[in-house]
């Protein structure tokens, strides 16, 4: 691509006062060496610390800094969505502020995008420093489970760190749904994608803002947003219960005929069967509840996020 181009860097922030200034310094250091235009889109996702104050100061000092501040915390995926809705360049890079995803990888991703002619360059983690065995294992299991359940193939060992070009950004603007699972949507779009291998670092400072409950919620959005197989699972569980119940009935009939002395009044297995059937029923009802809840949220038609303040936004 030999024409003049502009790159937008989308950086969602939630309570990142400890790392934000160092992040900005690293971003500027990296981008000052490129030959194309660029700008930063910082999204303050309802932070309760000094994040917004720091962003205001950065925006005053640097006209390349755009700030979008939410009225409250709407979540990481909605913050990234707000950034994508305000892209004015030829491509955009999505990256967190915590410096686990090194800003130094951005020019390499742009180069791969330019040389391969692809639409998306997604970053694949070769290694992940500073993360617990539990998180590594659950992430590994989750991505492979999602691929097994989904009708579409998703890259494993990836996050939201990626480059998307203008065609992808324009297509994304057409999605009206509220519960967005971005890495899933980018795969669903079907544009040409290329991997970029990198080593993920530890957080520069502070602690992760993705609690276990938030990770579980994101996992649920991914599974229930891109797969109907959990609904079919309810049918399979029901069929298994019927077969199991028939087997128990046959067994009890045989005991009555051949070993009647083995029949104990108030047989405890009755309780077992009741609990099993009740548990499976509640499980399948819960699956239906997730889908119905998503439908309920979509029908309300509420916005994904509410912007309280904009700085340097054209």
**Do 170 and 29 sit in the same domain of this protein?**
yes
Q: What is the pLDDT of residue 201?
A: 74
**Do 207 and 96 sit in the same domain of this protein?**
yes
**Do 97 and 108 sit in the same domain of this protein?**
yes
**Do 26 and 162 sit in the same domain of this protein?**
yes
220 falls within a domain = no
Q: Where does residue 11 rank: exposed (0-12), middle (13-18), buried (19+ CB within 10 A)?
A: buried
CATH of residue 194's domain is 3.90.550.10
What domain count does the chain have?
2
CA distances from 226 to 140, 169, 236, 248, 274 (A): 18, 20, 19, 37, 33
Task: Give the C-alpha separation, 219 to 230, whole Å.
Answer: 13
256 falls within a domain = yes
> What pTM did the predictor assign?
0.72
**Do 138 and 256 sit in the same domain of this protein?**
no
Which residues lie below 8 Å from residue 161, measured CB to CB, with a gap of 6+? 93, 94, 95, 96, 101, 105, 122, 123
**Do 206 and 236 sit in the same domain of this protein?**
no
pLDDT digits (tens, 9 = 90+) for 43-93: 999 999 999 999 999 999 999 999 999 999 999 999 999 999 999 999 999
Do residues 28 and 112 touch, judged by C-beta distance below 8 A? no
221 falls within a domain = no
**Do 113 and 250 sit in the same domain of this protein?**
no
Low-confidence ranges of the chain (pLDDT < 50): 1-2
**Do 174 and 237 sit in the same domain of this protein?**
no
Q: Sign of dihedral through CA atoms 233, 149, 304, 67?
A: positive
Q: Please give the residue range of the domain that contains residue 191.
A: 6-211+303-311
Q: What is the pLDDT of residue 1?
A: 45
**Do 293 and 307 sit in the same domain of this protein?**
no
Task: Give the C-alpha separation, 185 to 177, whole Å.
Answer: 11
216 falls within a domain = no
Q: What is the pLDDT of residue 2?
A: 44
């Amino acid at each position: 691509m030999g024409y003049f181009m502009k790159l937008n860097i989308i950086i969602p922030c939630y309570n990142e006062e400890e790392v934000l200034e160092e992040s900005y310094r690293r971003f500027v250091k990296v981008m000052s060496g490129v030959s194309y235009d660029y700008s930063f889109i910082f999204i303050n996702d309802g932070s309760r610390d000094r994040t917004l104050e720091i962003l205001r100061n950065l925006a005053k000092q640097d006209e390349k800094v755009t700030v979008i501040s939410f009225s409250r915390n709407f979540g990481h995926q909605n913050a990234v969505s707000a950034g994508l809705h305000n892209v004015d360049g030829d491509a955009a890079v999505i990256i967190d502020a915590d410096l686990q995803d090194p800003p130094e990888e951005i020019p390499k991703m742009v180069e791969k995008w330019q040389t391969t002619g692809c639409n998306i360059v997604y970053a694949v983690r070769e290694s992940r420093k500073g993360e617990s065995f539990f998180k590594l294992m659950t992430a590994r299991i989750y991505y492979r489970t999602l691929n097994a359940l989904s009708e579409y193939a998703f890259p494993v060992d990836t996050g939201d760190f990626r480059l998307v070009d203008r065609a992808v950004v324009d297509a994304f603007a057409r999605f009206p749904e509220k519960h967005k699972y971005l890495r899933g949507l980018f795969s669903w779009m079907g544009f040409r994608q290329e991997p970029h291998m990198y080593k993920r670092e530890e957080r520069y400072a502070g602690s992760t803002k993705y609690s276990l409950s938030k990770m579980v919620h994101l996992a649920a959005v991914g599974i229930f947003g891109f797969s109907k197989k959990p609904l079919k699972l309810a049918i399979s569980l029901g069929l298994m219960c019927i077969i199991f119940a028939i087997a128990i009935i046959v067994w009890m009939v045989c005991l009555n005929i051949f070993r009647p002395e083995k029949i104990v009044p108030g047989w405890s297995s009755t309780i077992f069967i009741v609990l099993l059937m009740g548990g499976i029923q509640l499980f399948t009802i819960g699956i239906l509840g997730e889908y119905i809840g998503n439908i309920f949220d979509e029908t309300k038609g509420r916005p994904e996020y509410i912007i309280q303040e904009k700085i340097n936004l054209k």
